């Protein structure tokens, strides 16, 4: 039996093998994409929650001058968590979390005395919130 005869006799097996590998490749790709989207979605929602908490702490520190509920250490904790979660997100959100970290680092000690401090932090939080919601809306 020559090679062409063997290929003709086993053509169904070859087609089945090609279909099986194609299906396996597609399924693997789809599972990876689904997992990536799930990670981004969960990190995004967590970031939004922590941004809300940071905003609460910031307002308590600046407007109410509450040394307990508006304690900057609590704010640092939120900023660090937001920054850590940002590493799981696309570049635009990651950059936004780093900008929030920089804004907090440069302004936290002026909360309650300098309106430009609250403006810098608030603008950074609003910008990051917008990047997160845009990213979440773009997921498949």
Asked if the model's pLDDT at residue 3 lies above 90, the reply is no
> Residue 84: which of 52, 54, 46, 126 has the closest Cα?
46
Question: 108: pLDDT confidence band, cut at 50, 70 and 90?
Answer: very high
- Would you state the structure tokens that stand for residue 109, as one six-digit string? 């000690």
Asked if the model's pLDDT at residue 75 lies above 90, the reply is yes
- pLDDT value at residue 92: 97
Q: For residue 89, give the DSSP letter.
A: S
Provide mean pLDDT across the span 50-78: 96
Q: Say how far residue 67 (Cα) sits from the centre of its chain.
A: 31
Name the residue with tokens 């920054």.
83
- Write the pLDDT tens digit of every residue in 14-28: 899 999 999 999 999
CA 33/CA 52 separation, integer angstroms = 29
Question: 111: pLDDT confidence band, cut at 50, 70 and 90?
Answer: very high
């Amino acid at each position: 039996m020559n090679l062409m005869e063997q290929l003709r006799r086993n053509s169904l097996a070859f087609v089945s093998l090609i279909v099986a590998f194609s299906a396996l490749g597609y399924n693997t790709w789809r599972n990876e994409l689904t997992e990536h989207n799930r990670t981004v979605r969960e990190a995004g929602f967590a970031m939004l929650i922590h941004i809300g908490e940071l905003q609460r702490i910031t307002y308590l520190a600046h407007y109410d001058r509450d040394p307990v509920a508006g304690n900057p250490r609590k704010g640092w904790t939120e900023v660090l968590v937001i920054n850590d979660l940002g590493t799981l997100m696309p570049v635009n959100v990651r950059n936004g979390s780093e900008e929030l970290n920089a804004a907090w680092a440069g302004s936290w000690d002026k909360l309650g005395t300098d309106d430009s401090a609250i403006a810098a932090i608030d603008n950074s939080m609003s910008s990051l919130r917008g990047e997160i919601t845009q990213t979440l809306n773009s997921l498949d």
